[in-house]
Chain A
Amino acid sequence: MPEPQPQAAATAPPLPPAVVLRELTRRFGDFTAVNRVSLEVTRGEIFGFLGPNGAGKSTTIRMLCGILPPTSGSGSVAGFDIASQSEQIKKQIGYMSQKFSLYEDLTVEENIDFYSGIYRIPGAKKRERKEWVIEMAGLADRRGARTATLSGGWKQRLALGCAILHEPPIVFLDEPTSGVDPVSRRSFWELIYRLAGAGVTIFVTTHYLEEAECCDRLGFIFGGELIALGSPAELKKGFPGEIVALECERPFEVLKRVEALPGVRQATLFGAGLHLTVDRAETLIPALREALPDLEVHLERIAPSLEDLFVSFMEARTG
């Protein structure tokens, strides 16, 4: 495991923040994929970058990793400027792209050997790191197998292993668990926690809300713009209004009826029922019972979840 970065001691200057974005913008022609995003990630935290498909997560991460030049704004990783010092950044980071990008025609071991050569891992350490990756990815029996023959979960763990062979202090993971089964996803997050426990800064994008709950801090990006930033608890605390959960039969029909009621700001289908965003649950619950006398409904005020939060953000943006 990577050693934790030495914390700011009396003699050493404090480490610069892991990641800083200042009005970072990327355009593709007329289209703005990332629009003036500003945020900071401190050392050792798990920062979740959350957003629906096409929100601009990958574009942001690519700019931070120095593989896509920004159109305007600035940013730094480990104190190095992303526009002018991308080669220094590359020594400090591990990156796992959204699409599996190891060589499928090479074997597990050949891929690891390739990246340890590229990262110039010294001879003695090479073996140790290779064994570590193989053990971590659970590939002891498949070391000679072509990478193309591995299933999704294995591929993702191998990709992570190759990305952190050189024990970088900052790791960028772009939707590392998309398309893998829930068990693999869980074991992948255990690996992320192991890394974070060793002091590694993790910048991870996802569109799974349950993964977002696992992060120390979250940024929510939508349509290229950062529209919320904070820890999951802070974000929920800042939720405007209260949530009433409504359980009933045929929620779709009920949705239309409750939407029209005064005091209901928003109603959305949620699992087998509805979530209503209201100004005051205390006064609305009796009003709802009155308005729906014909129905067997269960009403309860609940704490807002991240999903409630992001649904409301998105509704607010799209009108």
Chain B
Amino acid sequence: MYERLKAMLIKEFIQVLRDPRMRFVVFIIPAVQTIIFGYAVNTDVRHVATAIYDLDNSSQSRELADRFLQSGYFELTERVSDEARARELIDRGEVKALLRMNHGFGAGLIGGRGATVQLILDGTDSNTAGIVLNYAVRIANGYGSQLQLAAVQRAAGRSLPVHGVELASRAWYNENLESRNYFVPAVITNIVFIITMLLSSMAVVREKEIGTIEQVIVTPIGKGEFILGKTVPFVLIGFINVALVSLVAVFWFEVPLRGSLMLLFGSTAVFLMSSLGIGLLISTISRTQQQAMMSAFFVIFPAMLLSGFAFPIESMPEPVQWLTYLNPMRFFLVIIRSIFQKGVGLEILWPQLLALSIIGVVILTLAIARFKKNLS
């Protein structure tokens, strides 16, 4: 058993590591994906192009404008002196925000009557606008003034006030940074799933396609030895992926990893039963690498959509929610996020791990049963 498995493993590793495309897939893609993703979900907006329209021109109004500019979130594009120019800048998209202080702003502050400052935001990108608004609220409140906001949406070249927005008193300022903490670790589930499933199915199908499998199956190698030889390398590659993504998350994006590394890799091992099982299943129904790739994508998309990665499961229709219980990614995602963000252990995560184990054992058993050591 050991002798044959060793021969299989050596051969598989040589093949993976010798192929530059494979090296790229195994080592570069996870890191690059994590970095791209880390920035793509980065909702931490800085240097918003801003115009200042100061009608008051008091020391108070200048002070508030300075506070905006010094916060680092707003960057001055132009000081404007009339309404038309302000509109023009917004319409052309040259500024994303217009800070307007009316006559009497300084006097109001001094007199304790309260003062209103107006912030007009380009609402085209509602996400960014929302974040900018939060910064503005904090700065304005810090200065004891009220902020009145008008979001404008540039449509057909016209500015059009959409609605006045009530001041949000909740400070979700921090949450912007946490969205990264939430999303980046989750990249692990996608990367591990896609890479291990795709590579393990390809590793078998490539031998079918090239014909090398014919020479292997006339040897007395056992079915189990062959399957192990084709999966163990990808267990290791799965671990490498987890390590790479975690390293990038922790050291590049400073995402906290609060839970145990043991549990991180242990649950990865449990998850790999499913992804490698699906990979093997695909290899039993595919003759060419292209077919295997198509089948893999057929699995990947629903698995990702129904995992809770991008769309919360709670907001899916109920029948679809039930479907997600068949999805190993769903459980793995909860485990990974909990390990990173909450630092919880087995005492909390055992139901997910149990579900993952059951799904894994079923898929793997099915795959092994279907796997035949012949050419039919």
Q: List A residues at the B interface (Cβ < 8 Å).
A: 62, 65-69, 86-87, 90-91, 93, 95, 97, 99-106, 110, 113-120, 159, 162-163
Besides A97-B211, A118-B216, 5 more A-B contacts (Cβ < 8 Å) are A66-B374, A67-B214, A100-B211, A101-B211, A114-B11
C-alpha spacing A118/B220, complex, angstroms: 8
The answer, yes or no, to whether B375 is at the interface (CB within 8 Å) is: yes
Q: Which residues of A contact B213 (CB under 8 A)?
A: 101
Contact A68 B212 (CB under 8 A): no
Segment among B12-20, B231-239, B337-345 that sits at the interface with chain A:
B12-20
A115 close to B214 (CB less than 8 A):
no
CB–CB B10/A114 < 8 A = yes
Known contacts A95-B215, A114-B10, A120-B4; is-contact A62 B15 (Cβ 8 Å):
no
Contacts of B219 in A (CB 8 A): 90, 115, 118-119
Pick 13 A–B contacts, CB within 8 A, sort by A: A66-B218, A67-B375, A68-B374, A90-B219, A97-B214, A97-B215, A99-B211, A99-B214, A104-B210, A106-B15, A117-B3, A118-B7, A159-B215
Which residues from B are CB-within-8-Å of A103?
11, 15, 212
Q: Is the CB of A93 within 8 A of B218?
A: yes
Q: A62-B375, A110-B14 are in contact. Are A101 and B212 (CB under 8 A)?
A: yes
Q: Is the CB of A118 within 8 A of B375?
A: no
Cβ of A155 to closest chain B Cβ, rounded Å: 12
Which of A67, A86, A93, A104 has the most CB atoms of chain B within a 10 A radius of its CB?
A67
Q: Does A113 contact B375, Cβ atoms closer than 8 Å?
A: no
A99 to B215, CA, bound (A): 10
A101-B15 in contact (CB<8A)? no
Q: Is the CB of B7 within 8 A of A113?
A: yes
A67 x B374 contact (CB < 8 A):
yes
* Contact indicator A69/B376 (Cβ below 8 Å): yes
The interface residues of chain B, by DSSP majority, are classed as helix
Instruction: Assess whether B316 is interfacial by the CB under 8 Å rule.
Output: no
- Which residues from chain A contact B6 at a C-beta distance below 8 Å? 117
Q: A101-B212, A102-B212 are in contact. Are A91 and B10 (CB under 8 A)?
A: no
B223, chain A: closest CB distance, angstroms = 9
Interface size on B, residues (CB 8 A): 26
Measured in the bound complex, the distance between the Cα atoms of B217 and A93 in whole Å is: 12
User: In whole Å, how far is A105's beta carbon from the nearest beta carbon of chain B?
Assistant: 6
B376 lies within 8 A of A68 (CB):
yes
Max chain A Cβ within 10 angstroms of own Cβ: one of B212, B213, B214, B218: B218
* Residue of B whose beta carbon sits closest to that of A163: B215
3 smallest beta-carbon distances between A and B, as pairs: A117-B7, A101-B215, A95-B218
Q: Which of B203-256 contact A (CB under 8 A)?
A: 210-221
Question: Binary interface profile of B, 133-151, with partner A (CB < 8 Å = 1, else 0)?
Answer: 0000000000000000000
A-B contacts, CB under 8 A, total: 80
Which residues of chain A come closer than 8 Å to B220, judged between CB atoms? 87, 90-91, 118-119
A-contacting residues, B1-53, CB 8 Å:
3-4, 6-8, 10-11, 14-15, 18-19
The closest CB in chain B to the CB of A91 belongs to B220
A97 to B15, CA, bound (A): 22
A114 touches B218 (CB 8 A): no
CA distance A82 to B210 in the complex (A): 25
Nearest CB of B to A3, in Å: 20
Contact B210 A110 (CB under 8 A): no
Find out whether the CB atom of B7 lies under 8 angstroms from the CB atom of A114: yes
- Please measure, in the bound complex, the distance between the C-alpha atom of A113 and the C-alpha atom of B6, giving whole angstroms: 11
* Chain B residue, CB-CB nearest to A26: B376
A106 engages B218 (CB within 8 Å): no
The smallest beta-carbon distance between A305 and chain B, in angstroms, is 34
- Residue from B14, B215, B376 within 8 A of A102 (CB atoms): B215
A261 to B: closest C-beta gap in Å: 50
Q: Could you say which residues of chain A place their CB within 8 Å of the CB of B375?
A: 62, 67-68
How many Å lie between the Cα of A101 and that of B15 in the bound state?
Answer: 15
Contact of A118 among B18, B214, B221, B376 (CB under 8 A): B221
**Minimum CB distance partner of B219 in chain A:** A118
Chain A CB count within 10 A is highest, among B11, B18, B210, for B11
Please name all residues of chain A whose beta carbon is closer than 8 Å to the beta carbon of B221 when the two chains form the complex.
Answer: 118
Closest chain B residue to A58 by CB distance?
A: B214
Contact B218 A67 (CB under 8 A): yes
Given contacts A66-B374, A110-B11, contact A117 B4 (CB under 8 A): yes
- Give the Cβ gap from A275 to chain B, nearest Cβ, in Å: 39
Residues in chain B near residue A62, CB distance under 8 A: 214, 375
A residues near B374, Cβ cutoff 8 Å: 66-69, 86
B211 pairs with A106, CB closer than 8 A: no
Q: Identify the interface centre among A99, A103, A116: most chain B CB within 10 Å of its CB.
A: A103
Q: How far is the CA of A90 from the CA of B214 in the complex (A)?
A: 12
Q: In angstroms, how far is the closest chain A Cβ from the Cβ of B224?
A: 12
* Given A90-B219, A113-B7: A106 and B14 interface contact (C-beta under 8 Å): yes
Complex Cα distance, B219 from A87, in Å, reads: 8
Expressed in whole angstroms, the minimum distance between the Cβ of B5 and any Cβ of chain A is 9
Measured CB to CB, the closest approach of chain A to B142, in angstroms, equals 64
Assembled-state Cα–Cα distance A120/B220 (Å): 9
Alpha-carbon separation in the docked complex, A100 to B212 (Å): 8
Measured between beta carbons, the chain B residues less than 8 angstroms from A86 are: 374
With A66-B374, A118-B216 as contacts: A105 and B18 at CB distance below 8 Å: yes
Q: How far is the CA of A163 from the CA of B3 in the complex (A)?
A: 18
Chain A proximity of B322: nearest CB distance (Å): 40
Q: Which chain A residue lies CB-closest to B5?
A: A117
Binary contact track B325-346/A, C-beta < 8 Å → 1, others 0: 0000000000000000000000
C-alpha spacing A234/B286, complex, angstroms:
47
Instruction: Flag if A118 contacts B4 (CB, 8 Å).
Output: yes
Q: Chain B nearest CB: distance from A127 CB in Å? A: 15
Q: Which chain A residue has the least Cβ–Cβ distance from B19?
A: A105
Q: Which residues of A contact B3 (CB under 8 A)?
A: 117, 120
User: Which positions 250-276 of chain B face chain A at CB distance < 8 Å?
Assistant: none
User: Once the chains are docked, how many angstroms separate the CA of A66 from the CA of B18?
Assistant: 32
Residues of A within 8 A of B15 (CB): 103, 105-106
- Per the bound structure, the CA–CA distance linking A249 and B330 in Å amounts to 82
Smallest CB–CB gap between B49 and chain A, Å?
54
In the complex, which residues of chain A have a beta carbon less than 8 angstroms from the beta carbon of B215? Answer: 95, 97, 101-102, 159, 162-163
